[in-house]
Amino acid sequence: MIGGAEPGPDGLLRCPWGLATEEYVAYHDGEWGRPVHGDDALYERLCLEAFQSGLSWLTILRRREGFRAAFAGFRIASVAAFTDVDAARLLADPGIIRNRAKIEATLANARTLAGWQAGELDSLIWSYAPDPATRPAPKTISDVPAITEESVALSKALKKRGIRFVGPTTAYALMQACGLVDDHLAQCVARGGTAGA
């Protein structure tokens, strides 16, 4: 089946994209599609998905530790306190993607989220998780959408609350990465969070 699950080095079937590099195998098997909770953890994913826009996810994975170091571990309260000096430091940091608009959005989003109640970001994002029973397992990569009705609604809800750089495609990538949906292919070993179990 073209675009279907493919065998990895260990013979187990995986989503084709998850076999491209060792970093992708580890991310695909251990992280992508697994439920993520907690405001800081979801803020990190939201930021990384925004930085990925227009780039390869591999670029982000390879710089992830650089991002974490540069953005204080993505602790919302810490990033919200960043100053213009910090912004200038970030624009000069080769360990991250030095895109002014994305950096400014990351800082602005932290300041916005710092005013929310604890757990509010988690609750808001997860309120847009669709009922798994309404989503058949994709058989091929062409069955995996780029946006959905839920991601459009999540994007609108976040933007309405002042969150920047989160269009429907970014919102859907966030939903996939954080386990709101399980877009591992039907025959993929990681479908249902079973890889490495």
- Phi first, then psi, for residue 80 (nearest 5°) are -60, -25
Res 1: pLDDT: 59
Residues involved in catalysis: 27, 49, 57
Instruction: Tell me whether residue 165 is exposed, middle or buried, using C-beta atoms within 10 angstroms of its C-beta: 0 to 12, 13 to 18, 19 or more.
Output: buried
Q: State yes or no: 178 annotated in a binding site.
A: no
Predicted pLDDT at 192: 86
Residue-number span of the structural domain to which 79 is assigned: 39-178
Give the integer Cα–Cα distance in Å for 164 and 171: 11
DSSP 22: H
In a domain, 194, yes or no: no
Question: Do the annotations mark residue 28 as ligand-binding?
Answer: yes
**For the chain, how many structural domains are there in total?**
1
Residue 103 lies in a domain: yes
23: left (phi over 0), alpha (psi -120 to 50) or beta: alpha
Answer whether residue 195 is part of any domain: no
Give the dihedral sign, CA 106/109/114/120: negative
Domain with residue 109: its CATH number is 1.10.340.30
Q: pLDDT truncated to tens, each residue of the chain (197 aa)? A: 578 999 999 999 999 999 999 999 999 999 999 999 999 999 999 999 999 999 999 999 999 999 999 999 999 999 999 999 999 999 999 999 999 999 999 999 999 999 999 999 999 999 999 999 999 999 999 999 999 999 999 999 999 999 999 999 999 999 999 999 999 999 999 998 755 43
pLDDT of residue 197: 38
- Structure confidence at residue 81 (pLDDT): 98
Is 37 annotated as ligand-binding?
no
**Structural domain includes residue 186:** no
Strand partners, 14: 6
The answer to the question of residue 1 being in a domain is: no
